[in-house]
Structure 1
Amino acid sequence: MSPVLTYVLLVIVMLIWGLNVVALKLLVEAFAPVTMQAVRIFVAGVSLFIVLYFLKDLRWLNKKEWGYTLLATVFGVVGHHSFLALGLAQTSASNAALILGMLPLTTSVLAMIFLHDRMTWLRLLGICCGFIGVAFVVLQNNGGLGTISTGDLFILLAMASQAFSFILIKKVTATLSAGEMTAVMLLAGSVMLFAFSLWVEPHGLDTFSQGSWWIWLVFFASAIIATALGHVLFNMGINKIGAGQAAVFNNLVPFFALVSAFLFLGEPLLLSQIFGFIFIATGVLLGTGYVDEKLKRANLMVHSQSKPPVSIHDQIEAQGQHKAKSDSV
């Protein structure tokens, strides 16, 4: 696959994930939120296992891998998806998308704390920009600045839970493929999530009888296309162009979600959300170390080009010295 085709594929994945935020907003209004997430994640997990079976990317996990995977499941599936469902039931899809756009930056901050990643001035500036952007979003209340809503708080917790799960995933994907770990997490997490839903939503399954044909179409599209297939395609993109470049494409998800919420849900585009998106996107580029890495590579290229060329005489002399050493041995 050529780099251009990979870029197009990643843009399509980001479009799907942006639309998925709108889809989830529709689903939590049609079904009991946590129960819906449990069933949706189960369908996604089964679908991903089927894909990985044909890709021959399945094996049994060892004890250490099971430990990290199950712990990551508690935060990345149970915590993330339950908070996400509860949050979307009380806030707009636009706000949710912008807050979730902080995920790469929050993961980067946690990596500095737990994995001892290097802090730089640019990364610190990016972190500040990102949190300013979130402040524009979550403090917006009826067109002005106010207090954070319960829905936005749940989305923040959903984002933070998933970010922490990524730190755990980082520790185990050195030996386990990201695709298989995602599949195990989705399947195990759906069981945990369903058990939790029986406690918070005892009659949650009853709401499934109320869904129309088109809402079920949205449900299966969200589970199979966005969650299962989307992760497989994104992992393929990482394999082709690297995690750093692929992660930058995540900045498109809030943009696509904002536009989709405006077109399909009739949610207004607020000035505070536009400012928030600009600050968050800037913060992700700086705070995740992407700009640092680009500057470092540029400096290396400049230094390599500034070195004086080796003359033919020096080359012949170096070859003679190498031959003399070889003869002496």
Structure 2
Amino acid sequence: MKFPPYALLVLATLLWGGNFVIGRAVTGDIPPFTLAFLRWCLAFFVFFPIAFKYVKRDWLKLKEHWKIVLVLAFTGVAAFNTLVYIGVYSTTSINASLMNSTTPIFIYILSFIFLKEHLSKNQMIGTAISLIGVIFILTGGSLETLMHFSFNKGDLIVLVAVFCWSIYSLLIKQYATRLPGFSTFLVSIAMGAIILAPFTVYELATLDSPIVWSTKTISAIVYVGVLASIVAFLSWNTGVVKMGANRASIFLNLIPVFATIFATIFIGEQLQLAQVVGGLAVIGGVILTNRK
């Protein structure tokens, strides 16, 4: 059965939106490095039968660009989700997903700084609007918070995560014609899990009660390891190929929408006015930057 590309893109963003809520929901049951490590170990074993034949075919290309693959593994696999899982200990999943919407803005800024790409008028205005939205979310709309720079620690950690994801996304864009997708993803998953392994061992060794095994915990690991990693990845890539990257990128704005819906229904988070205003500014700025 073939699904239309827009359905695949919606499915991917729905699953990624749920990832923020899952990370928040299990904060007391499984520590962040362990959750990230188990996620990518499970993803590797699920994806291995699908992608191994491509790794054998593309091994020389992967070996040639091994430094780039290592950076992809560090930023996109090891760092991004781990930092998100750490961040949601101190902030809401709604805030985290809204911060994630600034990824295109970070990419434009990095492209301008490192690749000397020209920014159009729309991109500059959209970037400014989105950054104002981020500040509004960080401060909760409070001028006093802004004046005293007393930002939520979790929000700042998630911003670092988004910065890592932006580097990953920019490299994927730059090396799209040189690095094959499936094999690069499988190898970066393996390398990312190896990077996370010593941190996970230390985390488990130093915590008195590291993991509370339950149906909720196991379901969360399966969700992030299979649905939010493999199913979302395959759905997104297929949708992008059929619809085109520019048209598909607008669907990423659905991630905070789905995260907000899931967070309010399943874990009792409440949507605040500052999040609505800041989120609309962030998403509006992103849409503006993508206009020709």
What TM-score comes out, normalization by structure 2 length? 0.90
Residue aligning to 2:76: 76
Residue aligning to 2:165: 162
Shift in CA distance, 12/104, structure 1 to aligned 2, threshold 3 Å = same
Alpha-carbon separation, structure 1, partners of 2:47 and 2:119: 36
Residue aligning to 2:196: 193
Asked whether the 8 Å contact 2:55–2:183 carries over to 1, the reply is no
| 1:105-156 per-position Cα deviation (integer Å, ceiling 9, x unaligned) | 2112212222333211100011011111111111118x88622111111000
Unmatched 5+ stretches in structure 1: 293-329
In terms of Rg, which structure is larger?
1
Partner SS, residue 134 of structure 1: helix
Shift in CA distance, 40/126, structure 1 to aligned 2, threshold 3 Å = same
Give the alignment of 1:64-103 within 5 angstroms.
64-103=64-103
Return the letter of the residue paired with 1:15: L
Alpha-carbon separation, structure 2, partners of 1:157 and 1:56: 31
Asked whether the 8 Å contact 2:75–2:165 carries over to 1, the reply is yes
Residue aligning to 1:33: 32
Give the alignment of 1:245-284 within 5 angstroms.
245-284=247-286
Asked whether the 8 Å contact 1:75–1:165 carries over to 2, the reply is yes
Residue of structure 2 aligned with 1:148, choices 121, 146, 151: 151
Asked whether the 8 Å contact 1:97–1:253 carries over to 2, the reply is yes
Asked whether the 8 Å contact 1:197–1:204 carries over to 2, the reply is no
| 1:197-217 per-position Cα deviation (integer Å, ceiling 9, x unaligned) | 334553469623x22123211
Partner SS, residue 202 of structure 1: helix
Shift in CA distance, 229/32, structure 1 to aligned 2, threshold 3 Å = same
Shift in CA distance, 55/191, structure 1 to aligned 2, threshold 3 Å = closer
Give the alignment of 1:286-325 within 5 angstroms.
286-287=288-289, 290-292=290-292
Alpha-carbon separation, structure 1, partners of 2:95 and 2:233: 23
Return the letter of the residue paired with 1:112: F
Asked whether the 8 Å contact 1:76–1:165 carries over to 2, the reply is yes
What TM-score comes out, normalization by structure 1 length? 0.80
Q: Please report how far the alpha carbon of residue 25 of structure 1 lies from its aligned counterpart in structure 2 after TM superposition.
A: 1.2
Alpha-carbon separation, structure 1, partners of 2:242 and 2:185: 19
Asked whether the 8 Å contact 1:41–1:190 carries over to 2, the reply is yes
Q: Does 1:106 align with 2:106?
A: yes
Residue aligning to 1:50: 49
Return the letter of the residue paired with 1:52: A
Q: Please report how far the alpha carbon of residue 158 of structure 1 lies from its aligned counterpart in structure 2 after TM superposition.
A: 0.5
Alpha-carbon separation, structure 2, partners of 1:104 and 1:203: 37
Shift in CA distance, 55/128, structure 1 to aligned 2, threshold 3 Å = same
Alpha-carbon separation, structure 2, partners of 1:139 and 1:49: 43
Asked whether the 8 Å contact 1:22–1:93 carries over to 2, the reply is yes
The count of residues paired between Structure 1 and Structure 2 equals: 287
Q: Please report how far the alpha carbon of residue 257 of structure 1 lies from its aligned counterpart in structure 2 after TM superposition.
A: 0.5
Percent identical across equivalent pairs?
26
Q: Does 1:176 align with 2:179?
A: yes
| 1:152-211 per-position Cα deviation (integer Å, ceiling 9, x unaligned) | 110000000111122223333222222322222122101101212334553469623x22
Shift in CA distance, 261/60, structure 1 to aligned 2, threshold 3 Å = same
Alpha-carbon separation, structure 1, partners of 2:68 and 2:99: 26
Alpha-carbon separation, structure 2, partners of 1:34 and 1:145: 34
Give the alignment of 1:127-138 within 5 angstroms.
127-138=127-138
Alpha-carbon separation, structure 2, partners of 1:112 and 1:132: 19
Shift in CA distance, 211/134, structure 1 to aligned 2, threshold 3 Å = same
Asked whether the 8 Å contact 1:65–1:172 carries over to 2, the reply is no
Asked whether the 8 Å contact 2:52–2:183 carries over to 1, the reply is no
Question: CA RMSD, aligned part only?
Answer: 2.4
Shift in CA distance, 108/83, structure 1 to aligned 2, threshold 3 Å = same
Alpha-carbon separation, structure 2, partners of 1:216 and 1:281: 33
Asked whether the 8 Å contact 1:28–1:36 carries over to 2, the reply is no
